[in-house]
Structure 1
Amino acid sequence: MEARILLQSDWYTAFRENEGDVWVSCKIPGKPTVYGSLKCQGVNHDGVPEVTSSEEFEVLEVSKKSIHLSCPSGRTSSKFIMPFTSFPRIHDKSITCLDISSGGGLGVSTSTDGSMRIWNCQNGENRRELTGHVYDVNCCRFFPSGMVVLSGGMDAQVKVWSCEDGSCPVTFKGHKGGILDIAIVDRGRNVVSCSRDGTARLWDCGKSACLAMVADCGAPINGCSVGVADNSINLGTPQEAPSDREVGTQDKLLLLAREDKKLQGVGLQSRTPIFEFQGSDAFNCCTFLSSVYIVAGAQDGNIYQLDVRCLSTPIQVFHKSGAPVHSIMPIREGFIASQGDGSCFIVQQDLDHSIELTGPDADPVYKVAAWEKCIFTCCRDGLVRKYQINDL
């Protein structure tokens, strides 16, 4: 665990006031936490706050939307970015999942109030309600077209929706437990779902049928991701059923984040287990960084970066805090992760500092989605926050 700087969640609000004070701290493994403060001394002619720090910290850079701080005793620095805007009226309660369309114009999100809604990414205005699941909707995702949505709910159903009229032309039934995550294969002819019942299933959207039970793990599967595997990885012998030859899933690797502390790789067409990696706690989410590198987040806050060609030792284990890792996704040359303590951060290989997306005050950030230079997060506090990342 590396040293980590923590900053008051509403620091940007305090800096709008002259002599506004903000607390800052640095947790250093094996040493006492370093505490300090920041003070706004006014705003310059460009509208940028003039910020000074107590002696324990250094202010490296300040802009209208960010502040870069260092803690010399902890030998670490972090850049904190405030939300560009927030959307408070999409749902009435906690927002559990979201995704952004390929064109960046529409968002879809689900809530603990049982609703699933399509909304405008510019102003948060609701466009359409998608009604049809019986209980809570756990996950939602746009197809590559940006006009069709895939969802999975506690009613054990997977549904395909039209964004244009809100209709649901396809419903997949077969799971015996709530759907926990979904993934889309290529352009969306096929989709994958994983469930509390411990299985992952491959579906054909055109035929409205289940092609295969790809995995039966005996433990809930919390997350899944589909990627193209490197040629050096043997994905097994494809099944010979004609329907399988049509689906176009050759050379696809399915990652499964399992409740029993295992991260599993399965050949999507062969349905053959390719590898298992034993973690320290239940895996909640996983994604591909490339054809050989993957990253997965666990309930105890550990984030594992792995090379699927050699799983004996992780390339790196990140640990910001002991809060559950709820969401993880690739971005540029690294990844962005969110946790149950309200933290959301970007890790990039060529940066010597982390980038923290601020705003939530200890409320879990359940999901992260990105489109070009915009990042969207959803949180237990019921807000969708939009960040602009221009300098990654």
Structure 2
Amino acid sequence: MASLPAGKPTLYGSLTRRGLSTEGVPDIAASEGFVVGEVTKKSILISCPHENVSTKFLAPYTTFCRIHQKSITCLDISSGGGLGVSTSTDGTMKIWQAANGEIRRLLEGHVYDVNCCRFFPSGLVVLSGGMDAQLKIWSAEDASCVVTFKGHKGGEREVGTEGKILLLAREDKKLQGVGLQSRQPVFLFVGSDAFNCCAFLSSTYILAGTQDGNIYQLDVRNTNAPIQVIHRSGAPVLSLLPYRDGFVASQGDGTCFIIQQDLDYVLDLTEADCDPVYKVASWEKQIYTCCRDGIVRRYQLSDL
């Protein structure tokens, strides 16, 4: 393991398992410079007192490896938490039981790969966008395609249904806000590299992630300088999800972490093992991730 303080030499250490308790919880010791905190069957809290940083590593509660045969590029969970929808490079889009990964519906109709999918707030309707330059609305109950929208000249990469300001994460290193009613630019912020993703934390605060691993937090009322810049690794930031009093971020090196205002440690979601985590979805205290390895992982957040 390693601690990477900004502008300072990296601190390296190791963990050693000395045995198991009668309850099956490992007894773990850390090398000099690191401290092992709470340990459970699914998590371990590691601190580096010298740098005043702590991370809790959390293993998945369960994994679903039979939903798709190849990389899973997008997923979403219905408002009631009962259903999931996901797209894959195997050419399929499927609706499945969020509890056990059982396939319920196969949504067929896009000509090429489907890039994005989302449930409507009702949880009964799905919106998708594909490389065939079509948007489709589906019934989650019978898998029928209710409406197809045509007119785009290229593949759709993202879809959304709410808000009065449109956020654009651009490849020319610019994050742009556009008023939906006026159709005029509201702000333009220049980052360190191409922007891959963006999200609203609230009506005034936004997040945006770049190709070189930076996560910018901005106030839309004044975007001259970011409120803060978070940098956990140099891998591309692939998705950002507002969650409670913070957010969940995933990156191209398999990193997936949760930052909350009321937690004095970062929560690191494990097991992606260097495969990009493309998308994150949540329902109450459960976090779902989709990955290049074709596995959907579900994490149970007992701390929050």
1:310 is matched with which residue? 222
Instruction: Give, in angstroms, the shift of residue 264 of structure 1.
Output: 1.1
1:357 is matched with which residue? 269
User: Could you tell me the TM-score, scaled by structure 2's length?
Assistant: 0.97
2:29 is matched with which residue? 52
Q: Which has the higher contact order (CA 8 A, sep 6+)?
A: 2
2:177 is matched with which residue? 265
Matches within 5 A, 1:102-251: 102-185=79-162, 227=163
Structure 2: which amino acid aligns with 1:41? R
Equivalent of 2:190, from 262, 278, 281? 278
2:240 is matched with which residue? 328
> 2: CA distance between counterparts of 1:362 and 1:56?
25
1:217 is matched with which residue? none
Count of matched residue positions in the alignment of Structure 1 and Structure 2: 304
1:73 is matched with which residue? 50
Instruction: Give, in angstroms, the shift of residue 280 of structure 1.
Output: 1.3
> 1: CA distance between counterparts of 2:229 and 2:30?
31
Instruction: Give, in angstroms, the shift of residue 259 of structure 1.
Output: 1.5
Instruction: Give, in angstroms, the shift of residue 35 of structure 1.
Output: 2.3
> 1: CA distance between counterparts of 2:9 and 2:187?
41
Structure 2: which amino acid aligns with 1:363? D
Matches within 5 A, 1:11-50: 24-50=1-27
Structure 2: which amino acid aligns with 1:91? H
Instruction: Give, in angstroms, the shift of residue 272 of structure 1.
Output: 1.8
Structure 2: which amino acid aligns with 1:139? C
> 2: CA distance between counterparts of 1:271 and 1:73?
50
SS in 2 for 1:42: strand
What stretches of structure 2 of length at least 5 have no aligned partner?
none
Q: Check if 1:375 corresponds to 2:287.
A: yes
Instruction: Give, in angstroms, the shift of residue 104 of structure 1.
Output: 0.4
> 1: CA distance between counterparts of 2:30 and 2:214?
31
Structure 2: which amino acid aligns with 1:50? D
| Superimposed CA distance per residue, residues 251-272 of structure 1 (whole angstroms, 9 cap, x where no aligned partner) | x111111112111111112212
Equivalent of 2:68, from 91, 97, 116? 91
SS in 2 for 1:313: coil
Structure 2: which amino acid aligns with 1:151? S
| Superimposed CA distance per residue, residues 92-121 of structure 1 (whole angstroms, 9 cap, x where no aligned partner) | 000000000001010000001111000111
> 2: CA distance between counterparts of 1:138 and 1:90?
17
> 2: CA distance between counterparts of 1:32 and 1:268?
47
Instruction: Give, in angstroms, the shift of residue 283 of structure 1.
Output: 1.0
Q: Check if 1:298 corresponds to 2:210.
A: yes
SS in 2 for 1:114: coil
Stretch moving more, 122-131 or 66-75: 66-75
Instruction: Give, in angstroms, the shift of residue 352 of structure 1.
Output: 2.5
> 1: CA distance between counterparts of 2:49 and 2:284?
34
Measured on the aligned residues, the alpha-carbon RMSD in Å equals 1.2
> 2: CA distance between counterparts of 1:254 and 1:30?
36
SS in 2 for 1:61: strand
Structure 2: which amino acid aligns with 1:90? I
> 1: CA distance between counterparts of 2:207 and 2:7?
27
Stretch moving more, 27-36 or 128-137: 27-36
> 2: CA distance between counterparts of 1:40 and 1:125?
36
> 2: CA distance between counterparts of 1:38 and 1:46?
20
> 2: CA distance between counterparts of 1:31 and 1:280?
21
Structure 2: which amino acid aligns with 1:368? V
Instruction: Give, in angstroms, the shift of residue 353 of structure 1.
Output: 1.7
User: Could you tell me the TM-score, scaled by structure 1's length?
Assistant: 0.76
> 1: CA distance between counterparts of 2:12 and 2:130?
44
Identity %: 69
> 2: CA distance between counterparts of 1:59 and 1:82?
16
